[in-house]
Amino acid sequence: MRRARPAAAALAALALWGAQAAAACRQALVLALDVSGSVDAGEYRLQLDGVASALQDPGVRARILAMPQAPVDLAIFEWSEAGHMPLLIGWTTLSDDAAIDAVADRLRTTRRSPAPPGTALGHAMERGLALLDERPACWKRTLDVSGDGQRNIGPHPRDMKPALTAAGVTVNALVIGADNPGIGDARQAEIAELSSYFRTNVIIGADAFVQTALGFESYADAMRRKLLRELDGFVFSALGPDGPRGRRDQ
């Protein structure tokens, strides 16, 4: 009878983990898309279609669906000034191919609404945090901010960092360079300056990063590479008192 006790305890621990995993998500991911005055109608279309394409990429799809018992939750909003931050995709659990395809289809059929020209980057970070607060049980919470310019209205993005850090949120960025800067050297200088701005003032977290796109024509591929990098793949190493603990796949 004594030998049965460790096995029973292990089964109980696995059952507890299963209940916890079912009640939580692996990662809550918010995509914040820049639609300020510097983004024209064609660039808007490239941005939304680029997200749709990236989500349906076979590698990204496989990463999203890697742990069906602990799926990824996704929300997407667009931002310019504080009064224009509409939710394009409310919280959606990406539990199967149909859910991913439904989000992609919705993005491809979304039409742009009138937006004020300002770039309220700080307010966008604040909006992202409010959304992530709706998913407190997720093992990791990530805000991904796309932008093609620096903040020119509203609070400075660095002023939002303390609240996001306290909430344990990781903030990554996808920086979009000029489509037609005149000469190649100007394009490289422009995106280097903007990347430095986002690296200093926006991203948060030990593993946070800035992904770059050399113009909106490159946005889909940049989004694909960013999603592959930031969607976690967990390998369970132990069961702690507060639930599953793990490490990233290398």
CATH number of the domain residue 211 falls in: 3.40.50.410
pLDDT tens per residue, range 184-207: 445 566 889 999 999 999 999 999
3-state helix, strand, coil split of the chain in percent (to 5) is: 45, 25, 35
Q: By the 8 A CB rule, do 48 and 93 touch?
A: no
Distance, in Å, from the CA atom of 59 to the CA atom of 66, rounded to the nearest integer, reads 10
What's the pLDDT score for residue 176?
Answer: 93
Which pLDDT does position 9 carry in this prediction? 45
User: Tens of pLDDT along 10-30?
Assistant: 444 444 444 444 457 999 999
Decide if pLDDT at 174 tops 90: yes
Q: What is the pLDDT of residue 114?
A: 87
pLDDT grade, residue 180 (50/70/90)? low
CA distance 244 to 22: 12
Q: Which domain holds residue 122?
A: 4-248
Taking the C-alpha atoms of residue 204 and residue 208, their distance in angstroms, rounded to an integer, is: 6
Which pLDDT tens digit goes with each residue over 95-127?
A: 999 999 999 999 999 999 888 999 999 999 999
Asked if residue 62 has pLDDT above 70, the reply is yes
Look up the pTM and report it.
Answer: 0.83
Average pLDDT score over residue span 195-221: 95
Helices (H) and strands (E) in the chain, counts: 8, 8
What residue has token string 């909003």? Answer: 77
Model confidence at 1: pLDDT above 70: no
Total domains, the chain: 1
Rounded distance between C-alpha atoms, residue 248 and residue 162, angstroms? 25
